[in-house]
Each structure stands twice: as C-alpha cells, then as structure tokens.
Structure 1
Amino acid sequence: MGTPRESRAEQAEEIVDRLEAEYPDSTISLRYSNRLELLIAVILSAQCTDERVNTETRELFATYETASDYANAPQEELAEALSSITYYNSKAGYIRESCEIIVEEHDGEVPDTMAELTELPGVGRKTANVVLQHGHDVVEGIVVDTHVQRLSRRLGLTEEEYPETIEQELMELVPDGYWQQFTHLCIDHGRAVCTARNPDCGDCVLADICPSERGDGEVDLASGDPW
C-alpha cells in the first residue's frame, strides 16, 4: 500500500503533476464543431463510451444542424437515429425537449450559465460543466464522471459517494487552474491503468502515493472504492 502525502491538498497537487507528465496531451475525446453538437454529444455519452458516441454523431450531426431541427424531429425518428446508443429513447426525449427550450427561451443558442443549463432535461452538473468548459470557456466546477469518482476515492482525495459532494471536495483540493484538466487526466489514467475491475497497480505512476495500492495488481477493497 502506498503512502499518500500529508494533506489531501498536497496529495491532489502531486497527482496532477504526475498525471500531467504521463498524459501531456490529455483533452476531451468527444467530437463536435459547435456548442449544440457538444451538448448533444455529452447527453449521449451518459453510460455510453465516447467512441460509440463519436461513431453515431457523424451522421446525426449531418442530419440535424440546429436546435430547431432536433425540436421539430418526430420522437420515433430521432430515437431510431440513436438506436445504437444506450437508453436511446430517453436520450432522444431529453434532446428534443432541451432543444425546444433552447429555441423558445434562448433564441436557438446553447445557454452559458450553470443555472440555465441544468434546467434543460437530462442535463445535470456534469454535463453542464463540460458544456461550460469546452463550449463557453467558463470553468466553475470539476466534471465528476465515473473515472473521477473511482480515482478520487482510491487515491484518498475523498470518501464521498455522490458526484455533487465529490465535486465540492475536489474543488477545495485541486487548484482552480487545474479543474478542467483534472478530469481529463483522471479519464486517461482510468482508461489506461486504474481501471474499475483490474487496475494495473504495478505499472502506475501513482502507486507509491496511492493508499489503495497493494503491489499485487489489486486494489484494497477496504479503501471503500465504489465498484
């Protein structure tokens, strides 16, 4: 088992430094060319891989170009276009309803505040943070996805279980200049090394400061990692 830094803030700083060196080109993997496409892609990415979303949105974005296009599309037609995406019926509904609001209340433009974004169906803080950061260049929080949840708990940065409370703790530990990049670094490391079921602790740049590392390729379940 590794030995974390004396404080959680020092631990967070060391984690960011090491992961930045390991993944210098870390960035968002969803493909989009405007704010609306970004919003749609992030809604679709819930419990679905970015690779699958990128494959499906190539044709989707060529067919539907404006918020009005989505708002006016028949539910069955839009659901069919998303049929290879997880929960495609629900997501088709979220997209149509969100675009109706965007057309009626925001002149067809994706809103640029947390409050307005989270009023859209299917949009919580995670989705809103992504849209703000990458669509509007506004960083007011940390995107907490499944990788950020897993790594933050394994690395001793939080003992919380819910994304909203994890985000609040991380915002107190991670310097605000790294809030956006912290998510991408966790995602890259979570995909490459610190996977959910079989983390490669023996090849992890954070092993010596990870309180969950056991040196045998397994994560210490006593650390409270949420499988």
Structure 2
Amino acid sequence: MLDVEDAVSGPSRKRRASNVKRKRSSLDDVAVSVADQDRKPTSTSPRKKAKPVPQSLEVPHPAPANWEETYNTIRQMRAKITAPVDTMGCERAQDEEKDAKSQRFSTLVSLMLSSQTKDEVTDAAVKKLRAALGGSITIDAVIGAAEDLVSDAINKVGFWRRKTTYIKKAAQMLKDEFNGDVPKTVDELCSLPGVGPKMAFLALQVAWKLNSGIGVDVHVHRITNRLGWHKPPTKNPEETSRLNLQSWLPKELHPEINHMLVGFGQTVCLPIGPRCDLCELPGKNLCPSARKVVNVKMRKVLAMKSDLDSATPQVTIAVEEDTVAPSPIACKEDPDEPQGRAR
C-alpha cells in the first residue's frame, strides 16, 4: 500500500533530485569550460576571422595587346623620376632598424599607417613613432607603450585612432600567436586587425622577399584601367584588378609593378589632371585614355632630366603658363582619391 507521506512528497522529492542533477551538470560544464580555456592560447587579441585570400581566376584574363611595350615605356620613364615612394615608401621603414624582426615589423607598421595617407605623412609618422618608442619599432615596445603615446606619434595619418588600436592588437597577436615575428603567408597576415590583402602581399615582398602576388593600391588600379588592361574595367582594386593582373603578367614582374606604377601615378599619371603632356605613351598610341592638358593659367611642370653623366635621376619643378587646348577625350577622376600613395 502507498504510504500517505510518500504519496504527498514523492513528486516533490523527484523534482528536488532532478534540480540537483541539473546543478551538478551545470557545474561540470563550467569546470570543463574553465579547463578548455586553460589549454587555449592566452592572446588578448582574438584572431580576425577572414576568408582565404583568392589567388587566381577561374578563367584567366587575356593579356592586353602591346602590354610589353607599354610596360617597358613606363619603366623607362620611371627610371628618370624620383617619386615620393622612392624615398618615403614602406620599403624605407626598415632602414633605421638593425634587428631582422624589427625590420619586418616596422615594414608592417608602415603599411598599416599608409592606408588613405600620403607617403610623406606616413614616413614622418614612422619616424616619430620610432623616436617615441625609444629608437626602435619593436613588438615588445609597442605592446608596452601606452595608447596615448602611439596615438600622439601617428595622429597625422588618416584614421589614426583606429590604426592605434590595430597596431597595438596586431603586436600582441604577433607575440602570442606568431612567435614574435611577422608571419609568412597572406592568410596569416590578413588575420591581423587592420591588414588587408594588398598590405599582406607588399609585406611579404618587402619583409620576407617572397613573391606571392601583386599588391594593388589605388594607383595601380587607376593606371591599369586607364591603359585599358581590364576588360571590362574593374571597380575593386584588390580582387578584380589584382587577379586580372596576376593571371597574365609574368610572375617575375609581380614584385616591381606596384612600386613602378605608384611612382608613375604620383608624378605623371595623377588622379586629377594627369600630365599626359609629359607621358610618352600617347605618342606611341599606347594609352586609350590620353588627353591634352586642360588650359590653366599657372601650373606646376615636372621636368625629367636624363643626364647620362648623373648617377641619380633629377626632378625639377617649375611654373609656367599653359595654353594647350583640351582634348575631347577625358579621364574619369575620383575627387576623393589622395594623390599620394594610399595602399
């Protein structure tokens, strides 16, 4: 026979027992979670989840007609010009560093600072940051530095507040996850905050001398479209322009094309008011976007000096009146695009 007490308290006892089991299970889950956390890396900067960077097109882009003549003509013109990128580009950031790891890290920092910023401003910020960190841009120095100190050093570059956070977090990740050094793959570099594919490809070329792809910035994107090298014209500098170029441009030219076209874009093929009068491509019918210089009373003139006796090419800036009539062929311009190197 069922006891009265059992009949009344039985269900209640079952519920209490069930609650106790759930509490124990919950405590066990917490214990497992804590144990799992103890086994995980202690990085304070979680890795950015990024898709693998695409490396090729399903259908390769055909090589443009006469591209070799065009390429060699630009190369010859660039040999006569000293552009800002030649003296203040990301390649120069490592010059003041003696340690190999610091050279690689300073190159990466320079690239992170260069986004939407002219080379002159980036170069000054790198030098100021190096001085603020005690004479060397190292991962430990950046980790140990206060955010205000980093911010004060780089506050002339575009988006400096965001870049301060990116640089601090990237330094911590490099120490925790990459043995205190710049990684050697594009995907690993792109896992760092503030680092995109174009920076990653350039970092590998400059820091590690690895030829993994083309770093396409606004200059390369603009100039290759003006030359008609993309059919149809591309809108995305990173994926469409880069993948198109990589599909037909010989791989041995991948490391140099960015530096060559950036300098050409800074001095001749400008974003606004390109100096087609100084360019040799129109005379050879190699540029479908060529135009005559628009009539302006006073304008700067870039004179390229080709002196065989001179060891260093010279550039002279002068001012003169311009009375050349405009051509019916015009280039589409982006008024928001900086005229310096914006990687």
- Cα 1:192/1:74, change in 2 over 3 Å: same
Residue 199 (structure 1) aligns with: 274
Q: Give how far 1:219 is off.
A: 8.6
Q: Does 1:107 align with 2:179?
A: yes
| Moved >6 Å (runs of 4+) | none
SS at structure 2 position matched to 1:32: helix
Q: Does 1:23 align with 2:100?
A: no
Structure with more of its chain in strand, by fraction: 2
Q: TM-score, normalised by structure 1?
A: 0.88
- Cα 1:22/1:219, change in 2 over 3 Å: farther
Residue 49 (structure 1) aligns with: 118
Q: Does 1:190 align with 2:265?
A: yes
- Cα 1:56/1:124, change in 2 over 3 Å: same
CA contact (8 A) 1:130 1:143 kept: yes
Residue 234 (structure 2) aligns with: 160
CA separation in 2, counterparts of 1:200 and 1:113?
A: 38
- Cα deviation, 1:41-91, whole Å, max 9, x if unaligned, reads 010011111111112211312333321221232222211221122211011
Instruction: Pick which of 77-86 and 145-154 moved more.
Output: 77-86
Q: Does 1:209 align with 2:286?
A: yes
Q: How many residues align?
A: 220
Q: Give how far 1:39 is off.
A: 0.3
Residue 246 (structure 2) aligns with: 171
Residue 14 (structure 2) aligns with: none
- Cα deviation, 1:4-26, whole Å, max 9, x if unaligned, reads xxx74343322221122122388
- Cα 1:140/1:102, change in 2 over 3 Å: same
CA separation in 2, counterparts of 1:43 and 1:220?
A: 37
Which of 62, 71, 93 is equivalent to 1:32?
93
CA separation in 2, counterparts of 1:145 and 1:167?
A: 9
RMSD of aligned Cα (Å): 2.1
Consecutive unaligned residues of structure 1, counting only runs of 5 or more, are 1-6
Q: Give how far 1:121 is off.
A: 0.4
CA separation in 2, counterparts of 1:131 and 1:190?
A: 21
CA contact (8 A) 2:63 2:249 kept: no
- Cα 1:72/1:60, change in 2 over 3 Å: same
CA separation in 2, counterparts of 1:68 and 1:118?
A: 21
Consecutive unaligned residues of structure 2, counting only runs of 5 or more, are 1-61, 95-102, 295-326, 336-343
SS at structure 2 position matched to 1:71: helix
- Cα 1:213/1:56, change in 2 over 3 Å: same
SS at structure 1 position matched to 2:165: helix
